[in-house]
Homo-oligomer: A and B are copies of this chain.
Amino acid sequence: MSTPETYPSETPIRSAPVARDACGMALATELLGDRWTLLILREAFYGVSRFDDLRADLTIPRGILSTRLKALVGAGLLVKAPYRQGRDRVRYAYQLSPMGQDLALTLIALMQWGERHLQTGPSPVRLTDRRTGQTLQIALVTPDGQAVPAEQVDFQIV
């Protein structure tokens, strides 16, 4: 990808060319950028959905989990779905909404970066093509699904 101008240079970049409130990444970061939210969503992707299971799995304080879940439900990433186990009373499970599920590629991108740069051992997670068994990776693709190498990607601000 065409990286931003290398620096030191004669005219260093003094500010970001896109305002924070017009940048999807900045907006997403405001919602997801804290110590727990992405970890909660990771659990949700794995299918962990009950309050006490999340709390035990993450060892997160109850109050914080409660606050975060409210925020995620409020933002539309999670939905509170009623369920009943056995003859027990109705309770609620936190499940990914379509908006939440759509975050999958982002979390996978983060996971693959973490595996490349932070993880020492091999990863237990396998992402493959169901048809061919080939290993899959995150990339930028054209509308017809052809990956474009980084050097060939043009990043511009209009």
Contact = CB atoms under 8 A, between A and B. Distances in A.
**Which of A31, A32, A103, A125 has the most chain B CB within a 10 Å cutoff?**
A125
A61 interface: no
A93 B8 contact: yes
Contacts of A87: none
Contacts of A64: none
A16 to B, nearest CB: 4
A145 B143 contact: no
Interface residues of A, number: 106
A19 B85 CA distance: 26
Contacts of A145: 139, 141, 146-147
A22 B124 contact: yes
Given A16-B42, A49-B13, A145-B139, A124 B157 contact: yes
Given A83-B7, A118-B28, A129-B142, A53 B111 contact: no
A132 interface: yes
A81 to B, nearest CB: 7
Pairs A-B, 10 closest by C-beta atoms: A24-B114, A145-B147, A4-B47, A28-B114, A8-B83, A24-B115, A13-B47, A25-B111, A106-B109, A27-B118
